[in-house]
Structure 1
Amino acid sequence: MEYPKLRSFITLARTLHFAQAAAEVSLTQPALSQHIQSLEKSWGVKLFERNKRQVSLTVEGQLLLDEAERTVQRLDNLRATVSEVAAGSRGVLRLGYVGTAVLEPLLVSALRSFRSQFPQIRLEPAEYNVDQQISLLQSGELDAGLLRGPLPAFRFIACREIHRTALCVVLPDNHPRASDRQIDLRDLADETLIVQQDPDGVGLGGAVLRLYTEAERVPTTIVRARDVNTAIDYTAMGMGITCIPSSQRHFLRHDVVALDINATNITTSLYLCWKEGRKNADLMKFIKNTRQLFMPAAEKIK
């Protein structure tokens, strides 16, 4: 069944006027008449009653009109999908993220904005650590990743800083300094430090250890935790202290407290990463939308 003939049938059924319908589908009136006659012959039914004064749908034509409209809509959708695929759009964006990323209020706003502007693109988010995301980005199993810095240079991976926020210290609520508003890192050198199981110098764990190095302090003991939530749980148990992005202090459990760090440049950065040279229209839309929302906030801290 030919698409142009269905369009001719639907347009004539709506206008009930051959000249007007022919103009709308960019045909001559004889060509439009041939389309209708071809459908009537193929379907074995008469679609229109016509005389010199008027055109009207037959009962059979009315019954077939709804199905014809649904068929054309499906074909239109198929054409749009084919165009998107040809342009590098698949309608699905596979997004990796580290655990601390999903608690960033601006990230939630960015994802909502993207879904609102591009409802035809389905987001498939999944949590992975830094190593896993880099591997999945390189293999093409992820389209984009949200990673916590610092990050080394990864081969074939582009990374852009999109957000920077201050770090704060998390203590158990029975800690002697729990009632303070801020604290110096040098006062915590004797505390057991709980950090994430990131590779050395990478991610939130790498950022925290670098701060200690810059303060010329070395934690007496370091405990590795699977993720930031586990680190906070360990802190609540009295096993040590940990550090988190200050934007997440409002999501803490009730038996820990967060204190500001009395120092400058105590920050952690969130990066948007993707595979270099990847031709993916959906990815480019996501990168542009996310950077537009995040970058002004990141610039304020510079």
Structure 2
Amino acid sequence: MMDVKPLRYFVMLAETLHFGQAAARLHISQPPLSRQLAALEQSIGVKLIERNSRNVTLTVAGERFYQDAKNVLNTLEQAVHNARAVAAGEAGVLTIGFTMCAAYSVIPRYTRLFSAAWPDVTLQLREVVSNNLLEQVRRGDIDAAVLLPSEDEQGLNTQTVVAESLCVALASTHALASESSLAITQLQNEAFVVAAESAASSLYAAIVTHCQKNGFNPNIRFEVQLQQTVLSLVAEGVGIALVPASMQKAQVAGVRYLPLDNAPLIEQVLAWSPTNQNPCLRGFLECVGS
């Protein structure tokens, strides 16, 4: 590849049309400048400069070479800037996976903070079923994930990012919809709609355990994969649900949310691989910690 130093020398001469001025700006003496430019002309086999005792001018070929040389140097400078930005995590692509619960709790805030702090990083968001998220993190398909805690977190770094109460979701036409809050014992004869254990094991366990601690096993009528489906079924009056409080932001028509007395807390964690080499991840972790 051609040494770019002769290009820089030629561009400086083309912009000053004076060997003395060009040499001074380049912080060299005139003889090495003259040698470099002569070698440049010889290497490309074209005369670029016309010089006499009074004037320095560019040939027609020199004028065109000047424009192209400037473009090459600008492109190189941008390439260096881009490489340094990517290495520093200031540019590039960061992919974050999350479950529907996170969509209504922390993901909007993290997206705003990260996009403001790192505007040149492309942030890709993937909403998926949680039972596949940790494997995607391990494979490197995604850089990090916000999800409900799981027993399958071995080998990953995790950080709790939110802890929120469960609340009761029920149809707005339900007989209990006019209450200001509910005790779990008031729901012992209700049909429950839940996110399946395979999709949200910690949430499933929290619901069952809370019911059992209060003297009954929940009558689980439907198990589904997504919280949105849970709420859609609740809206149709086929059952009630216990959902994280942030799910109230979903604003599903026909669903009323009520506080649950002595409700258990549901955590969500951020998980990432300690071997992840994406420098953009550091900026995201800083936003999470802010």
Match of 2:39 in 1: 38
* Partner amino acid, structure 1, of 2:232: D
Match of 1:240 in 2: 239
After alignment, is 131-140 or 10-19 more displaced?
10-19
* Partner amino acid, structure 2, of 1:30: P
* Partner amino acid, structure 1, of 2:37: I
Q: Given that residues 191 and 238 in structure 2 are in contact (C-alpha distance below 8 angstroms), is that contact kept between their aligned partners in structure 1?
A: yes
SS in 2 for 1:93: strand
After alignment, is 78-87 or 237-246 more displaced?
78-87
* Partner amino acid, structure 1, of 2:129: N
Matched residue count: 289
After alignment, is 220-229 or 61-70 more displaced?
61-70
Tell me how far apart the structure 2 counterparts of residues 126 and 17 of structure 1 sit (CA, whole Å): 58
The alignment's C-alpha RMSD in Å is: 3.2
* Partner amino acid, structure 2, of 1:235: V
SS in 2 for 1:183: coil
Counterparts of residues 83-102 of structure 1 (less than 5 Å): 91-102=92-103
- 1:56: Cα distance to partner? 5.8
- 1:45: Cα distance to partner? 4.7
Residue by residue over 1:185-237, the C-alpha shift from the partner in whole angstroms, topping out at 9 and shown as x without a partner, is 22112211211124397343334334334444421234211100010111111
Q: Given that residues 97 and 128 in structure 1 are in contact (C-alpha distance below 8 angstroms), is that contact kept between their aligned partners in structure 2?
A: yes
Match of 1:65 in 2: 66
After alignment, is 47-56 or 218-227 more displaced?
47-56
Match of 1:144 in 2: 144
Q: Given that residues 94 and 122 in structure 2 are in contact (C-alpha distance below 8 angstroms), is that contact kept between their aligned partners in structure 1?
A: yes
Would the alpha carbon gap of residues 37 and 291 (structure 1) be closer, same or farther in structure 2, given more than 3 Å must change?
Answer: same
Match of 1:134 in 2: 134
Would the alpha carbon gap of residues 28 and 211 (structure 1) be closer, same or farther in structure 2, given more than 3 Å must change?
Answer: farther
Tell me how far apart the structure 2 counterparts of residues 2 and 9 of structure 1 sit (CA, whole Å): 12
Q: Given that residues 130 and 199 in structure 2 are in contact (C-alpha distance below 8 angstroms), is that contact kept between their aligned partners in structure 1?
A: no
Residue by residue over 1:60-84, the C-alpha shift from the partner in whole angstroms, topping out at 9 and shown as x without a partner, is 4443334323322332344455556
Match of 1:275 in 2: 273
Q: Given that residues 182 and 258 in structure 2 are in contact (C-alpha distance below 8 angstroms), is that contact kept between their aligned partners in structure 1?
A: yes
Q: Given that residues 147 and 269 in structure 2 are in contact (C-alpha distance below 8 angstroms), is that contact kept between their aligned partners in structure 1?
A: yes
SS in 2 for 1:285: helix
Match of 1:10 in 2: 11
* Partner amino acid, structure 2, of 1:129: V
SS in 1 for 2:169: strand
* Partner amino acid, structure 1, of 2:101: T
* Partner amino acid, structure 1, of 2:145: G
* Partner amino acid, structure 2, of 1:126: R
Q: Given that residues 104 and 249 in structure 2 are in contact (C-alpha distance below 8 angstroms), is that contact kept between their aligned partners in structure 1?
A: no
* Match status 1:197 vs 2:201: no
Residue by residue over 1:232-258, the C-alpha shift from the partner in whole angstroms, topping out at 9 and shown as x without a partner, is 111111111123332331322221111
Tell me how far apart the structure 2 counterparts of residues 20 and 213 of structure 1 sit (CA, whole Å): 87
Match of 1:165 in 2: 164
SS in 2 for 1:182: coil
- 1:126: Cα distance to partner? 1.8
* Partner amino acid, structure 2, of 1:97: F
Counterparts of residues 205-220 of structure 1 (less than 5 Å): 205-220=204-219
Would the alpha carbon gap of residues 118 and 68 (structure 1) be closer, same or farther in structure 2, given more than 3 Å must change?
Answer: farther
Relative to the length of structure 2, the TM-score reads 0.82
* Partner amino acid, structure 1, of 2:109: S
What's the % identity of the aligned pairs?
Answer: 28
Q: Given that residues 199 and 206 in structure 1 are in contact (C-alpha distance below 8 angstroms), is that contact kept between their aligned partners in structure 2?
A: no
Tell me how far apart the structure 2 counterparts of residues 112 and 32 of structure 1 sit (CA, whole Å): 51
* Partner amino acid, structure 2, of 1:246: A
Relative to the length of structure 1, the TM-score reads 0.79
Would the alpha carbon gap of residues 160 and 14 (structure 1) be closer, same or farther in structure 2, given more than 3 Å must change?
Answer: farther
Tell me how far apart the structure 1 counterparts of residues 62 and 180 of structure 2 sit (CA, whole Å): 77
Tell me how far apart the structure 1 counterparts of residues 157 and 21 of structure 2 sit (CA, whole Å): 54
Would the alpha carbon gap of residues 53 and 269 (structure 1) be closer, same or farther in structure 2, given more than 3 Å must change?
Answer: farther
- 1:52: Cα distance to partner? 6.6
Match of 2:256 in 1: 257
Match of 1:116 in 2: 116
After alignment, is 88-97 or 121-130 more displaced?
88-97
SS in 2 for 1:162: strand
Pair member with larger Rg: 2
* Partner amino acid, structure 2, of 1:173: S
Tell me how far apart the structure 2 counterparts of residues 215 and 16 of structure 1 sit (CA, whole Å): 90
Tell me how far apart the structure 1 counterparts of residues 13 and 166 of structure 2 sit (CA, whole Å): 67
Match of 2:177 in 1: 178
